[in-house]
Amino acid sequence: EVQLLESGGGLVQPGGSLRLSCAVSGFTFTIYPMSWVRQAPGKGLEWVSTVSDSGVSTYYADSVKGRFTISRDNSKNTLYLQMNSLRAEDTAVYYCAKCGPEIDYYFDYWGQGTLVTVSS
Amino acid sequence: DIVMTQSPDSLAVSLGERATINCKSSQSVLYISNNKNYLAWYQQKPGQPPNLLIYWASTRESGVPDRFSGSGSGTDFTLTISSLQAEDVAVYYCQQYYSTPFTFGPGTKVDIK
C-alpha cells in the first residue's frame, strides 16, 4: 500500500523557516519524481515544487522560487521542503504527492497534508 | 504560464443524473509528438487530499468508477459523471502538466439537488 506521511508543519512567524518532510512507503521511491502542492484555507490547489527521481532536477513556482528548496534522500525514502523567509501568504496545507511514471507530472498519490501557519 | 479555467463554479445535480464540468487551458496541452493531452482531473472531498480520477485527459485511474469519464483535446476538456452518486459530492479540479508551472483550475463544486 502506497503511503505518504508529511510532518514538520506548525506555526511560524513571518520571516521564519520550517522544513517539511514526507516519508514514503509502498513503492520504489527512487524511480519517481515527487512534488509538493499546497492549499490555502478555503482555496484551490497550487503546485509548489517538483524534484526529479535522482534529485538532480528541481522546479519551482515563481511564488516560492529563491525561498523554498525541494530535496530528497533516496536512501531514506524521504522528500523534503525547506521553507525560508516565510510570508503570511504561504499559510496553507502542504501536500506531498507522488508523480506518475517517467516524466508524467500528474499526481497519483497524495499524503494527508501538514498545515503551515505563518503569523505573528 | 498556462492558465486553467473551469465552468461552472458550482453545480447541483439530482441523484442518478449526469454532471458535466468543463476545463479550458489558455494554450494547447496536446504534445504533438506523442498525441497526448497533458491534462488530469482530481476529486477532493472535504477534509481530504485530492484524489486522481483521470490522466492523459481520458485515462481513468485504477479503481475509479466507470461513471467518471474525461474527454477533449487541445484546449477544451470535459469531466462527466454519468450518474451522480451521493459520494460524488466534492470539488473537482483540472490540472495541466504540459509545462511548468503546473497549474490547476479553480475548482468546480458538485452538490446534490
Per mean pLDDT, which range of A11-20, A97-106, B73-82 is the poorest? A97-106
Task: Give A45→chain B minimum CA distance, Å.
Answer: 6
pLDDT at A103 over 80: no
d(CA B42, CA B49): 10
| Contacting residues for A23 by C-beta, under 8 A, at least 6 apart | A4, A5, A7, A76, A77, A78
> In the predicted model, what is the mean pLDDT of residues B45-52?
97
Cell of A98: 507522488
Q: Mean pLDDT across the stretch B25-50?
A: 97
**Confidence grade of residue A104 (pLDDT, cut at 50, 70, 90):** confident
Supply B81's cell numbers: 459523471
CA of B41 to nearest chain A CA: how many angstroms apart? Answer: 9
Closest-CA residue of chain A to B59 = A106
Q: Are A70 and A49 in contact (CB under 8 A)?
A: yes
Strand, helix or coil for residue A61: coil
Using the structure block, give the residue that is written with the C-alpha cell 461552472.
B8
Shortest alpha-carbon distance between residue B84 and chain A (Å) = 23
Mean pLDDT of chain A: 97
Residues 43-72 of B with CB under 8 A from A: 44, 49-52, 55, 61
Q: Write phi, then psi, for B88 (nearest 5 degrees).
A: -90, -5
Q: How confident is the model at residue A113 (pLDDT cuts 50, 70, 90)?
A: very high
pLDDT at A35: 98
Cβ–Cβ of A110/B49 closer than 8 Å? yes
- Tell me what the mean pLDDT of segment A26-51 comes to: 97
Length of chain B: 113
